[in-house]
Amino acid sequence: MKVELNFDKGYCKVTREPGDKRITQSGYSGQHETTLFYGVKNELRKRGYDLIQKRMWKDGHMVSDHQNYLRTRTWKGNEGEFCIYNPSWQTQDAGVVYNRNGKYFFELL
């Protein structure tokens, strides 16, 4: 899995490489997207980013209690902190689109 962070344009591009497995449904939330976030988190941790996967409402965001996102472990608005989320999560599962197209673009804040 190849993960490209573009802070200038505000996106995170995830691309499937030859030999990568397809994303399967996780038992935790029943969505492929959760499994895709897990893979992205592990790939970025190899690069030295300290990320956690969390449900957005637990951080006080006024969204559905099922929406997940990745963010840096410390979140105080400091330089170098960011989050990755799917703005279209209600209409499309990122993992399903990733399986079909071989890539997906997340928002990066």
Q: Per-residue pLDDT for the chain (109 aa), expressed as one digit of tens each?
A: 999 999 999 999 999 999 998 887 766 555 788 889 999 999 999 999 999 888 876 665 656 767 888 988 876 666 678 989 888 877 888 888 999 999 999 999 8
Both structure tokens of 54? 């969390």
CB 1 within 8 A of CB 39: yes
Domain span at 38: 2-108
Domain count, the chain: 1
List strands edge to edge, sheet with 11-15: 2-6, 11-15, 103-108, 83-85, 68-72, 51-55
Q: Which residue type occupies 87?
A: P
